[in-house]
Structure 1
Amino acid sequence: MPGINGFEMLARLGFAARALMYAAIGYLALRLGRTEDNEGALAYIQGVGGGILLSIMAIGFLGYGVWRLSEALIDTEGQGTGAKGIAQRLGGGVSGIIHLFLCWAAIGLATGGKGSSSDSAEQGASTALALPGGSWMLVVVAAILLALAAFQIVKAYRLGFLKHLDPAAAGRPWIAWVGRAGYLARGVVFAMTALFMWEASRQERAAAAGGMEQALDRIPDDWQVLVAAGLFLFGVFSAVEAVYRRITDPQVLDRLRRHVSAG
């Protein structure tokens, strides 16, 4: 079917872009003692690799975002319509939206912009608190982040991420441990950001909100090293996914063909 191979290539490029971003976050914390969020990592990558590399990453984030949104909208992963399937598809949709924002941020940096001048989590909290019922909106966001944290930790414990890999990669112990460390670190970061959002809601103060950078800052030094190493390893695992993720599963292709034909 026309477009399927290109769609797969963009999704894989997105995994590669995510690999670079998380590796940069981990490297900066471990090597330079510098905590950064996603946009800070992209700014660092721009300084090292230039606008061309960042432009390629932007294309990857776009492809990855569209792929994850397709997972939510047309169930390309075959999660189904049960409660668990709906939750996983919603998670895919959230991830897709986040990566579209990362695409926008990368484009801005690649074309000469300076990126966000202040913390995006604080900006979002400030916008929410300015609306009626804004503090309750932040409670909902905190609950979603906490659920995502639990999902990451459970996935790490059960090695649920391996089912999406080619069997040749899924059977390698080092890949299992790299993925497990990465998902555990992400779970910690999501849990910390949920706490920040809860505090912002409780205090009705946007400055209490925070993202990955603030989460790493708040973690005690010894644990910060472990979490930063986990984030770096999540970058390594994302590079593995760029090669071995089962994007071309025959059932996935059949579902895509049906939806394209119906359209």
Structure 2
Amino acid sequence: MNVATRLTWLTRVGFAVRGVLYLVIAILIARLGRAEDPGGAVQYLGAHSGILLIVIAAGLIAYGVWRLADAAFNVERHDDDAKGVAERVGAALSGAVHFLLAWQAIHLFQGARASGDSTEQGVRMALDLPAGPALVVVAGILLAALGVYQLVRAAKGSFLKHLEPRIARHPWAKWSGRLGYAARGVIFALSGWFIVQAGLEADADQAGGMAQALAWLESPVDLLVAAGLFGFGLFSLIEARFRVLRDVRVG
């Protein structure tokens, strides 16, 4: 097995890890009324098994490498138009986020404590920059736009093009993905709005990520979104096995 094939295999582990994190988020909402983001799910799982943290970190690193490779080398063969450029920028951001999650998993394994809400911390740092509030508002608008894009993907079912055709035809693949992308669209749009508010008021306490968006939702809407996130977890597990992955060329 060469290096590129090993990385592709580890990327599948990364999809599986992402799926498990979203399943945990959904279960915590439904059973405990506890709103968490992927970082919180990593912390929850790490409290039960240190070895699991290593598996999570390895999967997240491999997934992050694959996403960054897609951004840099167009592994997924995006078009050269504005949509393709946006998809590659999104891949870069996704890669960075998953590296941060892997870093958190490694630090938890080493005995470090979670450092609080990363979205709020990032906004606080951005507000200290020149034209910081304007930058925060732009970031919030972009995140909200990404949420709308997720909703469009849910409606069109365009996510199915990445699966093996024989799997993409099944309703369980279509609807788990559709519910999942719709739920993520809602969460991203809400998070974007919180960040816009933080920029407009120059107050980092107004910012919030997935956990804050889930906590803001009232019953039964939060349970409906949790069901959607559970669907996204299932779809990620489907992708771990049946997504068509092109090898990242190494060396």
Give the counterpart letter for 2:89 in structure 1.
L
Give runs of aligned pairs for residues 180-191 of structure 1, distance below 5 A.
Answer: 180-191=178-189
Aligned residues of 1:57 and 1:106 also touching (Cα < 8 A): yes
**Structure 2 partner of 1:11:** 11
Give runs of aligned pairs for residues 124-163 of structure 1, distance below 5 A.
Answer: 124-163=122-161
Identity %: 45
TM-score (norm 2): 0.97
Give runs of aligned pairs for residues 210-229 of structure 1, distance below 5 A.
Answer: 210-229=208-227
Secondary structure at 2:79 match in 1: coil
Give the counterpart letter for 2:10 in structure 1.
L
Deviation at 1:217, TM superposition (A): 1.0
**Structure 1 partner of 2:84:** 85
Deviation at 1:159, TM superposition (A): 0.4
Aligned residues of 2:141 and 2:193 also touching (Cα < 8 A): no
Deviation at 1:82, TM superposition (A): 1.6
Secondary structure at 2:36 match in 1: coil
Aligned residues of 1:46 and 1:110 also touching (Cα < 8 A): yes
Deviation at 1:109, TM superposition (A): 1.0
* CA–CA separation in structure 2 for the residues paired with 1:110 and 1:239: 24
Spell out, residue by residue over 1:30-60, the C-alpha distance to the aligned partner (whole angstroms, 9 max, x if none). Answer: 0111111222111111123x11011111000
* CA–CA separation in structure 1 for the residues paired with 2:158 and 2:113: 38
Give the counterpart letter for 1:147 in structure 2.
A
* CA–CA separation in structure 1 for the residues paired with 2:2 and 2:88: 25
Give the counterpart letter for 1:30 in structure 2.
A
**Structure 2 partner of 1:174:** 172
Give runs of aligned pairs for residues 1-263 of structure 1, distance below 5 A.
Answer: 2-48=2-48, 50-116=49-115, 118-247=116-245, 252-253=246-247, 256-257=248-249
Aligned residues of 2:137 and 2:197 also touching (Cα < 8 A): no
* CA–CA separation in structure 1 for the residues paired with 2:197 and 2:226: 24
Secondary structure at 1:221 match in 2: coil
Spell out, residue by residue over 1:8-40, the C-alpha distance to the aligned partner (whole angstroms, 9 max, x if none). Answer: 111101001101111111100001111112221
Give the counterpart letter for 2:182 in structure 1.
L
Deviation at 1:167, TM superposition (A): 1.2
Spell out, residue by residue over 1:52-79, the C-alpha distance to the aligned partner (whole angstroms, 9 max, x if none). Answer: 0111110000000000011110000110
Spell out, residue by residue over 1:211-245, the C-alpha distance to the aligned partner (whole angstroms, 9 max, x if none). Answer: 11110111121110000111111111111110001
Aligned residues of 1:37 and 1:212 also touching (Cα < 8 A): yes
Deviation at 1:2, TM superposition (A): 2.9
Aligned residues of 1:51 and 1:111 also touching (Cα < 8 A): no
How many residue pairs get aligned? The number is 251
TM-score (norm 1): 0.92
Deviation at 1:80, TM superposition (A): 2.9
Secondary structure at 2:220 match in 1: helix
* CA–CA separation in structure 2 for the residues paired with 1:228 and 1:57: 22
Listed as ranges, the gaps of 5+ residues in structure 1 are none
* CA–CA separation in structure 2 for the residues paired with 1:2 and 1:182: 34
Deviation at 1:173, TM superposition (A): 0.5
